[in-house]
Amino acid sequence: MQTNLADFIKDTPEGREADAILRACVHCGFCTATCPTYQVLGDELDSPRGRIYLMKQVLEGVEPTRKTQLHLDRCLTCLNCETTCPSGVRYGRLVDIGRRVVEERVKRPLDDRVKRTMLKEFLPRGELFKPAFKAGQLVRPLLPYSLRDKLQPARRAGPWPQREHARKMLALAGCVQPAMAPDINAATARVLDMLGIQLIEAPKAGCCGAVRFHMNDQEAGLQDMRHNIDAWWPYVESGQVEALVMTASGCGFTVKEYGHLLAHDQAYAAKAERISKMTRDLSEILPEFEGEIGARMAGRIKERVAFHPPCTLQHGQKIRGKVEGVLRAAGIDVVLPAESHLCCGSAGTYSVLHPEIAHELRDRKLANLEATGAKEIVSANIGCISHLQSGTATPVTHWIELVDRALAGAAR
Ligand code: SF4
Ligand code: SF4
Ligand closest to 79 (CA) is: 2
User: What's residue 344's pLDDT?
Assistant: 97
User: What's residue 34's pLDDT?
Assistant: 96
C-alpha radius of gyration, the chain, whole number:
21
User: What's residue 411's pLDDT?
Assistant: 46
User: What's residue 35's pLDDT?
Assistant: 98
Domain boundaries, the chain: 7-105, 290-407
76 lines ligand 2 (CB under 6 A): yes
User: What's residue 236's pLDDT?
Assistant: 97
User: What's residue 295's pLDDT?
Assistant: 86
Ligand closest to 46 (CA) is: 2
Residues 263, 266, 267: CA angle, nearest 5 degrees: 110
Task: Choose which CATH entry (3.40.50.1100, 3.30.465.10, 3.40.50.1860, 2.40.30.10) describes domain 290-407.
Answer: 3.40.50.1860
85 lines ligand 2 (CB under 6 A): no
- Looking at the chain, how many residues does it have? 412
Ligand closest to 361 (CA) is: 2
CATH topology identical between 7-105 and 290-407: no
| Ligand 1 nearest atom to the CA of residue 24, by list position | 7
CA of 166 to the centre of ligand 2 (A): 43
Q: Whose CA is nearest to atom 7 of ligand 2?
A: 35
Strand order of the β-sheet with 197-201 is 197-201, 167-171, 243-246, 279-281
Q: What is the pLDDT along the chain (412 residues), one digit of tens a residue?
A: 899 999 999 999 999 999 999 999 999 999 999 999 999 999 999 999 999 999 999 999 999 999 999 999 999 999 999 999 999 999 999 999 999 999 999 999 999 999 999 888 877 776 766 766 666 666 666 666 666 666 676 677 789 999 999 999 999 987 777 778 889 999 999 999 999 999 999 888 889 999 999 888 899 999 999 999 999 999 999 999 999 999 999 999 999 999 999 999 999 999 999 999 999 999 999 999 998 888 887 777 889 999 999 999 999 999 999 999 999 998 899 999 999 999 999 998 899 899 999 999 999 999 999 999 999 999 999 999 999 999 999 999 999 999 998 887 554 4
Distance CA 70, CA 156 (A): 39
- CATH fold of the domain at 7-105: Fumarate Reductase Iron-sulfur Protein; Chain B, domain 2 (1.10.1060)
